[in-house]
Amino acid sequence: MSEYIKKLKRQIEIVGKALSSKERFSVIDLAVEHNVEELTIKRDLAELRSRGIDIHSLKKEGIKILQPLKKEILKEFILEFISFSYSEDYPDKSTMILIQKLGEKALLFVVQLQKAIEQNLVTVIDYQSSANTIKTNIQVNPLKIFQAQNEWRLLAVNQNLIKQYFISKIIDVKLTTEKFKPLPKEKIDSLFTSSLKSWIGFEQFELKIHFDKNWSEIIKSKTYLLNQKITDLNDGSILFEATVNSLDEAATWILSFGKGAKVLEPEELKLKVIQLAKDALSNY
């Protein structure tokens, strides 16, 4: 583990200790615990404050966080800490796929695309859309890099349509000096709120699914969609309600449960599930 990652991991551990410990602890205590100099801990506290953590060393109270942490910071710290702690034992499959396909270009492309996102720069990419087809000089407005189904993807606007591209299939990236008007963050985030897997779109479909008691505990233990609502029924089964942006994706998801998952609404989704089941049976 590099010294830089050790430092970030130590800083997050300090925050965790400050959030959980009811006992008083000081800069000296932290220095002994982490086997570093007191000055190092003081620098850690200063860097944490620069990241928006209201953490201080108080004479009578020790290390304290004076203001609640924002959800965005909590999310950032949790993701970082898990990555630092488990990356060697549980390699990120999507990142390994990216490196395997692109090698050093993986880092180059991610850095370039993130720069384009942060600076709203129109970008030109060459892209392998299929095994035998390479599309060149595709002009895109990069919006977000995200991960879905073991692939790192780029969300971007192309010809006034929001599309996603597999970064592993990008052959070349060229940043221009032309600026584009970005979409509001709230609008970008809304694209993912009703996505079961990876479909990105603005359409909204209200669905109701009945799961029998054999599936109820499994369904209740997971969050498939941020907007999902689960209602317990008297016989041990459940009613699952949610908003999705793709009925095709929803149909595939429902069919994966087999017996015990029944579509109540919408009718169009029922028909898609039936057709998928017939197509699957036709193979045998």
Torsion angles phi and psi, residue 282, rounded to 5: -65, -15
- Tokens 């209740």, residue located: 220
> Other CB atoms closer than 10 Å to residue 36's CB: what's the count?
16
pTM score > 0.75 for this model? no
Question: What pLDDT digit, counting tens, does each position of 215-267 carry?
Answer: 999 999 988 888 899 999 999 999 999 999 889 999 999 999 988 999 999 99
Mean of the per-residue pLDDT values for the chain?
90
Q: Which of 41, 59, 86 is the last residue of a domain?
A: 86
- What's the rounded mean pLDDT across residues 127-145? 93
Residues 159, 227, single domain; the answer is no
Task: Give the pair of three-digit tokens for residue 210.
Answer: 């009945």
How does residue 194 score in pLDDT terms, banded at 50, 70 and 90?
Answer: confident
Q: At residue 162, what is the residue type? A: I
Which of helix, strand or coil describes residue 255?
Answer: helix
pLDDT in tens, 61-95: 899 999 988 888 888 888 888 777 665 555 577 88
Last residue of a domain, one of 159, 183, 207: 183
Whether residues 115 and 169 fall in one domain: yes
Distances (CA, A) of 153 to 94, 145, 168: 10, 6, 8
What CATH number has the domain bearing residue 244?
3.30.70
Task: Mark whether 126 and 207 lie in a shared domain.
Answer: no
Looking at residue 235, its pLDDT comes to 94
Q: Is 254 left (phi over 0), alpha (psi -120 to 50) or beta?
A: alpha
For residue 199, pLDDT beyond 80 = no
Q: How high is the pLDDT of residue 89?
A: 53
The CATH number of whichever domain residue 108 belongs to comes to 2.30.30
